[in-house]
Amino acid sequence: ARPQGDLCNNADVTHLTELAQKVLDQLACPYALGDEQVYSTASLGISIYPDDAGDAIEMLRHSDQAMYAAKNEGRHCFRFFTASMQESALQRMQLVRDLRQAMALNQFKDYYQPIVELATGRIHKAEALLRWRHPTRGFISPAVFIPIAEDIGAIVEIGGWIFLRAAQNAKKWLSIVGDDLAISINKSPVQFRDRSPEHLDWVRLLETLELPGKHIVAEITEGLLLRQEPFIEEKLLAFRDAGIQVAIDDFGTGYSSLSYLTKFDIDYLKIDKSFTSNLAPGNETQALCEAIIMMAHKVGLKVIAEGVETEQQRDLLKEMGCDYAQGYLYSRPIPAHEFQAMLEAHYRSLNSAVQE
Ligand code: C2E
Ligand code: CA
Ligand code: CA
């Protein structure tokens, strides 16, 4: 409910609340479109004159902000405009402005987090993760800026940049690790659906770099595969032809529909860190993880557990036959040169162990 303003009294708010609910209910009624029965819902934003705004344009802007708040809170509901919405809208606008310049100002960094093979303890995989060092606000989490970059389309350029960095590094690190090296890169659905001609595709970039596709893993989310989109399927096929591997990220948090796992050529499932962090001997999460691992192995996929922070989690995952683990237990994401030093030390100690 709306904190009561000076001018707008309780009766008005009650009346508006009832009205908004009526509108939502009415809009939610199914209707016929040709032969189809169509269901739709609405998200409603409300601002009040003159409490919230002084003119029509401001009224519309604030209602719009309230509508986005309603969408964010699960849709099919209504929200009154509040001052904090205005505050977060302003912050977002500022971030959008800074984000547009960040690329030109070299504010992005590529970090790497090792992915450890549980059976051997060896590192021959890593995930590339973006970092944005904002000139005044310091590091801003990708969880905050990636969705904005997706909204404004900047993800295509930024994603292309980190791909290039990761692929160049992969090529360099082959001399340390040998042929069995793969670097994972997150690819957002917006990048997948992008058709802009100036955007070089991953397959063509790898050709230019003369790096075989098998050294790259594309991390995608389940959502990308749910709707049958021929363009996406074509791209995935092109990946397969180029040898690029595919991992399903955050597995278990979305629809977790199993049918697409065999329909598309998927190589890895990444168990989401929310599962890993809840793992305890004999609990339900363990049963779930065990089921995911068994099912994945049955259809020929390898499993990577994200967010492994404790030895107990690692041991449980290893017992259940999970193939790989990634998390703070081994290392936080680190800059490329640090990751390279880590790889060098790791392989030096492996080689000397072999010689002894
Ligand atoms: P993600 O792909 O699920 O990446 C894993 C996240 O878990 C990373 O967060 C990583 O730092 C964090 N993490 C790793 N180990 C642990 C652990 O043991 N405990 C906990 N609590 N967290 C751990 P980060 O780097 O903040 O990235 C957040 C998300 O932003 C990523 O989630 C991914 O969806 C997105 N992202 C990051 N880099 C890129 C990129 O280059 N392109 C795209 N499209 N998305 C990216
Ligand atoms: Ca990922
Ligand atoms: Ca994840």
Q: How far is it, in rounded angstroms, from Cα 152 to Cα 288?
A: 37
Q: Of 109-123, 262-276, 322-336, give the lowest mean pLDDT range.
A: 262-276
* Confidence check: pLDDT of 108 > 90: yes
pLDDT tens-place string over residues 68-82 = 999 988 889 999 999
CA of 219 to the centre of ligand 2 (A): 6
Q: How far is it, in rounded angstroms, from Cα 72 to Cα 78?
A: 11
Is the CB of 307 inside a 6 Å radius of any atom of ligand 1?
Answer: yes
As given in the structure block, the two tokens for residue 195 are: 């058709």
Residue 268's beta-bridge partner residues?
247, 302
CA of 127 to the centre of ligand 2 (A): 7
Residue 248's beta-bridge partner residues?
220, 269
Is the CB of 146 inside a 6 Å radius of any atom of ligand 1?
Answer: yes
Q: How far is it, in rounded angstroms, from Cα 110 to Cα 166?
A: 8
pLDDT tens-place string over residues 287-312 = 999 999 999 999 999 999 999 999 99
Please report the atom of ligand 1 found closest to the CA of residue 191.
Answer: 44
CA of 306 to the centre of ligand 3 (A): 6
Please report the atom of ligand 1 found closest to the CA of residue 155.
Answer: 44
109 Cβ contact list (under 8 Å, min separation 6) = 130, 131, 132, 133, 335
Task: Return the higher-pLDDT residue of 146 and 230.
Answer: 146
Residue whose Cα lies nearest atom 41 of ligand 1: it is 130
Please report the atom of ligand 1 found closest to the CA of residue 326.
Answer: 15
Please state the rounded mean pLDDT for residues 340-350.
96
* Confidence check: pLDDT of 2 > 60: no
Please state the rounded mean pLDDT for residues 37-52.
91
* Confidence check: pLDDT of 5 > 90: no
* Confidence check: pLDDT of 176 > 80: yes
CA of 34 to the centre of ligand 2 (A): 42
* Confidence check: pLDDT of 313 > 60: yes
Can you give the pLDDT at residue 1? 45
pLDDT tens-place string over residues 136-158 = 999 999 999 999 999 999 999 99
CA of 119 to the centre of ligand 2 (A): 22
- pLDDT-derived band of residue 6, with 50, 70 and 90 as boundaries? low
Is the CB of 212 inside a 6 Å radius of any atom of ligand 1?
Answer: no
* Confidence check: pLDDT of 7 > 60: no
Is the CB of 113 inside a 6 Å radius of any atom of ligand 1?
Answer: yes
**Percentage of residues in the chain with pLDDT exceeding 70?**
96
- Give this prediction's pTM: 0.86
Q: How far is CA 48 from CA 9, 52, 62, 217, in A?
A: 11, 5, 9, 51
Annotate the chain with three-state secondary structure. Answer: CCCCCCCCCHHHHHHHHHHHHHHHHHHCCCEEECCEEECCCCCEEECCCCCCCCCHHHHHHHHHHHHHHHHHCCCCCEEECCHHHHHHHHHHHHHHHHHHHHCCCCCEEEEEEEEEECCCCCEEEEEEEEEEEECCCEEECHHHHHHHHHHCCCHHHHHHHHHHHHHHHHHHHHHHHCCCCEEEEECCHHHHHCCCCCCCCHHHHHHHHCCCHHHEEEEEECHHHHCCCHHHHHHHHHHHHHCCEEEEEEECCCCCCCHHHHHCCCCEEEECHHHHHHCCCCCHHHHHHHHHHHHHHHCCCEEEECCCCCHHHHHHHHHCCCCEECCCCCCCCEEHHHHHHHHHHHHHHHHHHHHC
Q: How far is it, in rounded angstroms, from Cα 266 to Cα 271?
A: 14
Q: Which CATH number is 96-355 given?
A: 3.20.20.450
Please state the rounded mean pLDDT for residues 208-227.
92
Among 35-39, 167-171, 237-241, which range has the highest average pLDDT?
167-171
Can you give the pLDDT at residue 231? 87
* Confidence check: pLDDT of 356 > 90: no
Question: Which of 103, 108, 109, 129 most suits a substitution to test ligand 1, by most atoms within 8 Å of the C-beta?
Answer: 129
Residue whose Cα lies nearest atom 25 of ligand 1: it is 129
Can you give the pLDDT at residue 88? 87
Nearest C-alpha neighbor of 108 from the set 153, 156, 140: 140
Residue 305's beta-bridge partner residues?
271, 325
Is the CB of 309 inside a 6 Å radius of any atom of ligand 1?
Answer: yes
Please state the rounded mean pLDDT for residues 100-113.
96
Please report the atom of ligand 1 found closest to the CA of residue 113.
Answer: 14
Residue ranges of domains in the chain: 10-81, 96-355
Residue whose Cα lies nearest atom 20 of ligand 1: it is 307
pLDDT tens-place string over residues 254-296 = 776 777 888 888 999 999 999 999 999 999 999 999 999 999 9
Can you give the pLDDT at residue 256? 67
Residue whose Cα lies nearest atom 23 of ligand 1: it is 307
CA of 129 to the centre of ligand 1 (A): 6
Please state the rounded mean pLDDT for residues 159-167.
96
**Percentage of residues in the chain with pLDDT exceeding 90?**
74
CA of 51 to the centre of ligand 2 (A): 44
- pLDDT-derived band of residue 317, with 50, 70 and 90 as boundaries? very high
* Confidence check: pLDDT of 27 > 50: yes
